[in-house]
Amino acid sequence: MEEGVVNEILQGPLRDVFDSKQLITDVSGSGNNWAVGHNVFGSLYQEQILEKLRKSAEQCDCLQCFFIIHSMGGGTGSGLGTFLLKVLKDEFPEVYRFVTSVYPSGEDDVITSPYNSILAMKELNEHADCVLPIDNQSLFDIISKIDVIVNSGKLGKTVKPKSLVTSSARALKNRQEKPFDAMNNIVANLLLNLTSSARFEGSLNMDLNEISMNLVPFPQLHYLVSSLTPLYTLADVNIPPRRLDQMFSDAFSKDHQLIQADPKHSLYLACALMVRGNVQISDLRRNIERLKPSLQFVSWNQEGWKTSLCSVPPVGHSHSLLALANNTCVKPTFVELRERFMRLYKKKAHLHHYLQVEGMEESSFTEAVSSLSALIQEYNQLDATKSMPVQDFPRLSIAM
Amino acid sequence: MSIVTVQLGQCGNQIGFEVFDVLFSDSYCSQGLCSKKENEAYQASCKERFFSEEENGVLAARAVLVDMEPKVINQTLSKAAQSGRWKYGQHACFCQKQGSGNNWAYGYSVHGPRHEESIMNLIQKQVEKCDSLSGFFIIMSMAGGTGSGLGAFVTQNLQDQYPNSLKMNQIIWPYGTGEVIVQNYNSILTLSHLYRSSDALLVHENDAIHKICVKRMNIKQISFSNINQVLAHQLGSIFQPTYSAEGSFHCRRNPLGDLMEDLVPHPEFKMLGVRNIPQMSENSLAYSTFTWAGLLKHLRQMLISNAKMEEGINWQVRPPLSGLPALGKMSFNKELHFNTSIANLVILRGKDAQSADLAGFKDPALYTSWLEPDNAFNVWKTQRAFNKYEKSAALVSNSQFLVKPLDVIVGKAWNMFASKAYIHQYTKFGIEEEDFLDSFTLLEQVITSYYNL
């Protein structure tokens, strides 16, 4: 809703990739106000947005999925973005809606980000098929880790520059990288790996609709924690199988997750492993067997693994792994978000900015926070089953 | 008589390719170890069953390829065309742009009705190319969405449209640990539907074949391609021609009919398992020799101890003493993990097959009490060697082979069902909880029937 970023893209190296007619900009921005993004700009631009969407959709032989990429803490991405979700659900009910959301970190410079995030969460709860939460702190930590390795220059270890999960063409050419580019590249790689099976051949394909089918056991529990490995490739071409196994182990370590979460010590509802490159089914099975004992799965899904093998690896790598987990470790993120919200809300701080927008009332806030609380409660209930022994339900008995 | 193969989903198409490849290379292999005339009869029979001849003399597989997304079919078609020896027919495939999302309900209730006409038309075209139809061979997996859901739908349709033709479904049992999270749901829905509409279910377990690759084939990094080739070898050993009663130059005319007659005496018992020995890597093959006596002894023990491959056979399991009353025999067997059979078929291919002695398989103790061994056991022999194995023995068995794995899958699916997980994904497309319950009921009945043999 302001022109700066879009204009920059249109002048950058990818300007020909984007259709200049398929963009909508306004002038003033949403002022970090979810209500402005959702209610004001939503109603203002609904027709235009729909028209452009229909145009794009018409060009598809078979439309499978929408990717919505936004942040939760701001005004436009958060407000208008979630408004769009409802529009997509009504207009294209059979098309999956995948949302990549950047959640506000602890040190966030937008004061009203808790309000925006919670209001947006309600919409995500109700209208998204699948949400991949990301937060800046984790991305930053990953970059720091890479920098340490690249700059340490240990003997015998040279990192292939193209293989960095943070690298981009621009960075290679000029050192003057924009601050968020490296972090954004990680998310870009996430989306690339997610769609790899749909774009390339493999011996065990996995489409986007399979992600939703396998990883969302109950409609509300559709938040997936993601992790990408490896973060870089060493120039050493001969890769012993141990390296391959290391890739699998790393995927479950909390340092590789794209949000602040520790899946190993929480409860898994389901887990998907999307492998690319020269990896065969035996490698996959060996690693699943190896890692299974250290992970806790919910009682009714003890073997809840979904796997896929794509033959084509990402640029600069010989193999890579994207792990998507439906795991109760997202709960702390939500709990913290709610706490930050309540700190502001109790003092009614900045509330007037929202309430003066038409259609917003205090009930919008209370509904949003109770929607989040209900979600947290679901995760709590699942966590409570963690230490309980697995019980087998009595089977149907047949009279012979 | 000819067999029309329907390849469904990624699994079905990948396997189907390997099967036709094995059938072709074996047919035209020079190491048949038999007379020229025998070889020609073999080739002609294989051709009649599985291939049709196009105008330029190239052989086209009698197959219909179905998948809901194009990548795998394109790969399969190009692999076949590349070989330059056989190919798939030009208009033999049906594909869409969007898969079934591992959702049985989507494959069955959405894709099925939507594409019913197109798919059945394609099958009709293949059928018309056959002088005489033995039946249909449908290759599918249980874990996914297309093979399982659409496969169940297509099989039902075949029953309606071709009530006098036989249908055998080749089903792939997924790895126990996750290929697909909802694989147990998809499996029980598939099995229960197929039990009503198919004539026989030939089952292969990924876990078992994987172990064969590890232990017997000496493959370091096992790919699905390796697994499918082992599978194709086993299927080829069943479906390649064998001599009929009239002698060496006459091959059996009705492969599916003969299989059904020999193996499926009762509609409640349709699950068939396969064991094939020896299986080893081509390198080892050059240095090994076998005797029929040795092979058959192993095969028999594999049967009664329910071993999935030649290694690690439990030789402690013995058939119970005959003369025990039926009830006593049952509990005796359960304690010893003895595998009771309804019917067995042994297929011998290779040098001096005629001389092999199969008395061990005619022991009444092996079989359930309501069938005489004379009716329960059959053997097909052919001198012509298969796939470069000087001697090869296959056992197709209708026995308690699969009751344990079935029990495990039903148990896991039931636990998941009790917590209602993932059910909304199925009800979205018209498969309700009652449909699940119906499936569970049918399968519990099958399990009980097999346990009580």
Q: To which CATH superfamily is domain B277-318+338-397 assigned?
A: Tubulin/FtsZ, C-terminal domain (3.30.1330.20)
Q: Do B177 and A289 touch (CB under 8 A)?
A: yes
- Kindly state the tokens that stand for A149: 């390795």
Q: Is residue B412 within 8 Å of B440, Cβ to Cβ?
A: no
Question: Range(s) for CATH 3.30.1330.20 in chain B?
Answer: 277-318+338-397
The yes-or-no verdict on residue A78 having pLDDT over 50 is yes
Alpha-carbon distance B45 to nearest alpha carbon in chain A (angstroms): 32
The yes-or-no verdict on residue A382 having pLDDT over 80 is yes
Q: Is residue A206 within 8 Å of A306, Cβ to Cβ?
A: yes
A217-259 pLDDT per residue, tens: 999 999 999 999 887 655 444 445 567 888 899 889 888 899 9
* Count of domains observed in chain A: 1
Where in the sequence is the domain holding A268, given as residue range(s)? 32-153+180-385
Output the pLDDT for position B309: 85
Q: Do A282 and B103 touch (CB under 8 A)?
A: no
Question: Which residues in B46-71 are b (16+ Cβ under 10 Å) and which e?
Answer: bbbbbbbeeeeeebbbbbbbbbbbeb
Of B71, B75, B223, the CB nearest to A280: B223
Search chain B and give the residue with CA nearest A129. Answer: B425
A244 contact partners, CB below 8 Å, separation of at least 6: A279, A283, A287, A319
* CA-based radius of gyration for chain B: 21
Q: Is residue B417 within 8 Å of B438, Cβ to Cβ?
A: no
Q: Which of A353-367, B32-46, B63-77, B309-323 has the lowest mean pLDDT?
A: B309-323
Q: What is the overall mean pLDDT for chain B?
A: 88
Strand pairing report for B2-8 and B63-67: parallel
Angle at A75 between CA A74 and CA A76, to 5 degrees: 110
Question: Range(s) for CATH 3.40.50.1440 in chain B?
Answer: 2-273
Instruction: Answer whether residue A131 is part of any domain.
Output: yes
For residue A134, which of A72, A194, A214 has the smallest C-alpha distance? A72
Check CB contact of B424 with chain A, cutoff 8 Å. Answer: yes
Alpha-carbon distance B270 to nearest alpha carbon in chain A (angstroms): 18
* For range B253-282, the mean pLDDT: 89
**CATH number of the domain bearing residue A203:** 3.40.50.1440
Mutual angle of helices B433-451 and B183-197, in 10-degree steps: 70
- Kindly state the tokens that stand for A295: 């992970």
Instruction: Answer whether residue A369 is part of any domain.
Output: yes
Q: Is residue B38 within 8 Å of B383, Cβ to Cβ?
A: yes
- Residues B168, B174, B179, B183, CA torsion sign: positive
SS (H, E, C) A120-132: HHHHHHHHCCEEE
Q: How far apart are CA B241 and CA A229, in angstroms?
A: 51
Check CB contact of B75 with chain A, cutoff 8 Å. Answer: yes
Domain range B2-273, CATH class: alpha beta
More confident residue, A152 or A167: A152
Q: Do A210 and B418 touch (CB under 8 A)?
A: no
Q: How far apart are CA A200 and CA B75, in angstroms?
A: 11
ipTM of the complex: 0.84
Instruction: Answer whether residue A4 is part of any domain.
Output: no
Contact list, B422 vs chain A (CB under 8 Å): 213, 216-217
How distant is the alpha carbon of residue B137 from its chain centre?
A: 9
Residue A278 DSSP SS3: coil
Check CB contact of B178 with chain A, cutoff 8 Å. Answer: yes
Instruction: Answer whether residue A97 is part of any domain.
Output: yes
More confident residue, A55 or B326: A55
pLDDT-derived band of residue A171, with 50, 70 and 90 as boundaries? very low
Name residues 18-37 of chain B within 8 A of A (Cβ): none
B285-302 pLDDT per residue, tens: 777 888 899 899 999 988
For residue B8, which of B157, B185, B165, B129 has the smallest C-alpha distance? B157
Q: How far apart are CA A209 and CA A129, in angstroms?
A: 10
Strands (E), chain A: 65-71, 96-103, 130-135, 225-229, 267-277, 296-297, 305-310, 319-327
Q: How far apart are CA B95 and CA B419, in angstroms?
A: 35
- Kindly state the tokens that stand for A192: 């690339």
B170-220 pLDDT per residue, tens: 999 998 887 889 999 999 999 999 999 999 999 999 999 998 988 888 888
